[in-house]
Chains A and B, each alone.
Chain A
Amino acid sequence: MPDAYVADDPAGAFPLVQLLTPEGERVSHADYSYEGDDEAIRGLFRDLVLSRRIDFEAHALQRHGELGLWAPALGQEAAQIGSGRALLPQDFAFPTYREHGVALCRGVDPALLLGLFRGVELGGWDPVEHGFALYSIVIGAQTLHATGYAMGLTLDGEVGRNDPERDAAVIAYFGDGATSQGDVNEAFDWAAVFNAPVVFFCQNNQYAISASTERNTRGPIAQRAGGFGFDGIRVDGNDVLACHAVTTAAMQKARNGEGPTLIEAYTYRMGAHTTSDDPSRYRDSAEVETWKLKDPIERVKRYLLTQGTPQEFFDELDVEADELGKHLRETCKSLPDPDLAALFDHVYVDGSTELEEQKAQYVAFRDSLEPEGSEA
């Protein structure tokens, strides 16, 4: 087992669920198992690689001045792909601003994720079409939205019919820092009181910007659930099989009408919080080096190689990742700047006279300016 967050879990009540070691060996667990075959694991590996490529390209685009900011998910791919691939089409996910891997799983064109960070969008995709809400930048606010949506599922009778085509649940993503927020604790309470079909998926990546987990909680995050009256699970967040297994179980439990679960995916943010900060100021390189050995992608690759996966598979995936990178680079630069005049139309459904007047004033002023270069 990897180190078990002993400082916060002296009784060892929340050992990490792990199904694939950093060395690439499958291990069994008394309560959870990954049901997919090696073909399915190759599918997860593909997602891991592509989601890391999204991160790589976006980071590069930021460094080239094409994005104002990027929130890297480097190191958290297994938590995101493992949980994201455990969702059914009818489920709904409420992300933070870092769930690029989950977005991939929900069928959102990764290029659309760039709009927010390029400053041409405040969202970019249709949340209802994808069952994937817009990124939430306010920490923890989306956990309440997820809980409310889950209450709506119950009211609509979309829970507990033993119908795999229709029974649905919600997943809320947040980080370890968010557990300090009132909204997250209100969401826990609300979900328990109303037995809402929601899974709280905390990616404990060890840092809230520069503040370590110990600055945000004095007890194991998974333990919080018990105080609110539901189950908490701690999973190796760098193990895609374990993340998939525990999320699958928790989501199915929610779909069955058996209420919420808190999953603490114990992982590590290998990069910065965003491209604006410098992690070398708040953590030492030895810590980073330790976590590199637990890389979520390398361990799956090791496993697949021992199973005799042909090199051709990896080569083809490299080509696919290159194509995705090209798509991101080309699409990013072609994302159109928004038309300020059009933005007036989306403040209200029913509009307002004041806004119409301001729009008219803006358009008239804009149109009164001489076009660039006309003075020549």
Chain B
Amino acid sequence: MSTKMPLGKGLNAGLRAAMEADDKVLIMGEDVGKLGGVFRITDGLQKDFGESRVIDAPLAESGIVGTAVGLAFRGYRPVLEIQFDGFVYPAYDQIVSQVAKLHFRSQGRVKMPIVIRIPFGGGIGAVEHHSESPEAQFALTAGLKVVSCSNANDAFWMIQQAIASDDPIVFMEPKRRYWDQGEVDTESEPLPLHASKIVRDGTDATLIAYGPMVKTCLEAAEAAAEESMSLEVIDLRTLSPLDLAPVFESVRRTGRAIVVHEASQTLGLGAEISSRITESCFYSLEAPVIRVTGYDLPYPPSRVEEEFLPGLDRVLDAVDRSLAY
């Protein structure tokens, strides 16, 4: 059955389904209960599942993640909401030193089935610390898995898959796409959580993106088509582990690759993806892999974020540069 809903509602429906399926699933975070979260992603869940399963936390991010470690020890599956990307750093130690490592340290005796939801990225005109893209900082941490949804259907399914995973998952939600409508198929078998997907076929170059930039890349491909350029668009969906086999297959066909993300360029995911494409597709490449990213600045004041963030024109400019080789 297919239903149209915004991405944020898809997440809400997915959380609800996961809570109904397993009474060990708990939601914890700041303002997730009565308010339903600042983005209303947990709207109505406390009312239906009670205060012991949707827990309004004290205002302390390390506490949210650290107590979830103990709850996971006890057999619970905590789903944590970090209110905004820029507020995750107080919890960074608990995430990378504890959540990520306990399964490894215990030689598999302890599982940490924790989901850490982070609304990330810019484009909503927010104040400082509300528009960051820290995904690479988690993707480079062994023991964590990192995913990002780009549409309502993936939001609905991927959050359920993340909760069902016995590994800790950092779940990056593209906050500027929360209100974007999409069809959600609540019955068909979804893609595996850790699989990338070709979301538009093309032959001249491959655009590789995730989260909020998938829509931007699709719009760029649409614009390019009007100028008779055929761009393939891949939604990575999983950032750690990366599923690059479909990327390699695509780049071998098109000969050109452009990686697009909002996060800063240096040591961002684009660097890893470019390197891996070069290692695997060297003899197929007609041009160097090009990155289109945020600049290496702290996130700027919102009045200039449209210039800071990769947009349609910067993506098309990169395509032109690639095709010029």
CA A346 to CA B69, docked complex, whole Å: 18
| Residues of B79-138 contacting chain A, CB below 8 A | 90, 93-94, 97-98, 101-111
- Say how far A138's CB is from chain B's closest CB, in angstroms: 5
Q: Is the CB of B109 within 8 A of A122?
A: no
Do A347 and B241 form a contact, CB below 8 Å, given A133-B73, A187-B66, A189-B58? no
CA A352 to CA B166, docked complex, whole Å: 13
- Say how far B74's CB is from chain A's closest CB, in angstroms: 3
| Mask of A238-257 contacts with B, CB within 8 angstroms, 1/0 | 00000000000000000000
Q: Is the CB of B143 within 8 A of A149?
A: no
Q: Is the CB of B242 within 8 A of A146?
A: no
Contact of B98 among A126, A145, A346 (CB under 8 A): A145
Q: Is the CB of A134 within 8 A of B143?
A: no
Q: Is the CB of B110 within 8 A of A128?
A: yes
- Say how far B96's CB is from chain A's closest CB, in angstroms: 10
- Say how far A313's CB is from chain B's closest CB, in angstroms: 38
Cβ-closest chain B residue relative to A158:
B74
Q: Is the CB of B194 within 8 A of A152?
A: no
Q: Does B5 contact A (CB under 8 A)?
A: no
| Residues of A290-308 contacting chain B, CB below 8 A | none
Q: Is the CB of B58 within 8 A of A190?
A: yes
Chain A residues with CB below 8 A from B105, complex form = 122-123, 134
Q: Does A9 contact B (CB under 8 A)?
A: no
Cβ-closest chain A residue relative to B100:
A347
Do A150 and B70 form a contact, CB below 8 Å, given A144-B94, A350-B167? yes
Q: Is the CB of B103 within 8 A of A189?
A: no
Q: Is the CB of B73 within 8 A of A145?
A: yes
Q: Is the CB of B107 within 8 A of A183?
A: no
Q: Does A286 contact B (CB under 8 A)?
A: no
Q: Does A365 contact B (CB under 8 A)?
A: no
| Residues of A182-230 contacting chain B, CB below 8 A | 182-183, 186-187, 189-190, 193
Chain A residues with CB below 8 A from B101, complex form = 122
CA A350 to CA B58, docked complex, whole Å: 32
Q: Is the CB of A186 within 8 A of B93?
A: no
Do A144 and B63 form a contact, CB below 8 Å, given A127-B109, A138-B98, A354-B242? yes
Q: Is the CB of A134 within 8 A of B66?
A: no
CA A350 to CA B164, docked complex, whole Å: 11
| Residues of B11-67 contacting chain A, CB below 8 A | 26, 52, 58, 60, 62-63, 65-67
Contact of A123 among B68, B106, B242 (CB under 8 A): B106
Q: Is the CB of B67 within 8 A of A144?
A: yes
Contact of B60 among A153, A156, A190, A348 (CB under 8 A): A190
Q: Is the CB of B73 within 8 A of A127?
A: yes
Q: Does B225 contact A (CB under 8 A)?
A: no
CA A280 to CA B117, docked complex, whole Å: 49
Q: Does B142 contact A (CB under 8 A)?
A: yes
CA A343 to CA B107, docked complex, whole Å: 8
| Residues of A117-133 contacting chain B, CB below 8 A | 122-123, 126-128, 133
Chain A residues with CB below 8 A from B145, complex form = 348, 352
Contact of A346 among B63, B74, B108 (CB under 8 A): B108
Q: Is the CB of A182 within 8 A of B70?
A: no
Interface size, chain A (Cβ < 8 Å): 43
Q: Does A349 contact B (CB under 8 A)?
A: yes
Q: Does B71 contact A (CB under 8 A)?
A: yes
Q: Is the CB of B241 within 8 A of A186?
A: no
Cβ-closest chain B residue relative to A141:
B98
Cβ-closest chain A residue relative to B165:
A350
Do A186 and B60 form a contact, CB below 8 Å, given A123-B106, A141-B94? yes
Contact of B63 among A126, A146, A190 (CB under 8 A): A190
Cβ-closest chain B residue relative to A356:
B241
Do A347 and B66 form a contact, CB below 8 Å, given A152-B71, A352-B241, A354-B242? no
Q: Is the CB of A145 within 8 A of B52?
A: no
Q: Does A179 contact B (CB under 8 A)?
A: no
- Say how far A108's CB is from chain B's closest CB, in angstroms: 13
Q: Does B76 contact A (CB under 8 A)?
A: yes
Chain A residues with CB below 8 A from B26, complex form = 155
Q: Is the CB of A349 within 8 A of B63?
A: no
Q: Does A311 contact B (CB under 8 A)?
A: no
Most buried by A among B67, B97, B166, B242: B67
Chain A residues with CB below 8 A from B75, complex form = 152
Chain B residues with CB below 8 A from A182, complex form = 60, 62, 90
Chain B residues with CB below 8 A from A187, complex form = 63, 66-67
Chain A residues with CB below 8 A from B90, complex form = 182
Chain A residues with CB below 8 A from B240, complex form = 352
CA A348 to CA B103, docked complex, whole Å: 7
Chain A residues with CB below 8 A from B242, complex form = 354
CA A328 to CA B139, docked complex, whole Å: 40
Q: Is the CB of A345 within 8 A of B97?
A: no
CA A353 to CA B238, docked complex, whole Å: 12
CA A145 to CA B73, docked complex, whole Å: 8
Do A152 and B60 form a contact, CB below 8 Å, given A187-B66, A347-B104, A350-B166? no
24 A-B pairs with C-beta separation under 8 A: A122-B104, A122-B105, A122-B106, A127-B73, A133-B73, A141-B98, A144-B67, A145-B66, A147-B63, A147-B66, A148-B69, A151-B71, A152-B74, A155-B26, A155-B52, A156-B74, A186-B62, A190-B63, A345-B108, A348-B103, A348-B143, A349-B103, A353-B243, A354-B241
**Chain B contact residues, CB within 8 Å of chain A:** 26, 52, 58, 60, 62-63, 65-76, 90, 93-94, 97-98, 101-111, 142-143, 145, 165-167, 194, 240-243
Besides A147-B66, A189-B63, A353-B243, 20 other A-B contacts (C-beta < 8 A) = A126-B106, A128-B73, A128-B109, A134-B105, A144-B69, A145-B66, A145-B98, A147-B70, A148-B71, A148-B72, A149-B74, A152-B71, A152-B76, A155-B76, A170-B70, A182-B62, A348-B103, A348-B143, A349-B108, A350-B166
The 10 closest A-B pairs by CB, nearest first: A148-B70, A144-B66, A152-B74, A148-B67, A149-B70, A352-B241, A186-B63, A349-B166, A122-B105, A145-B70
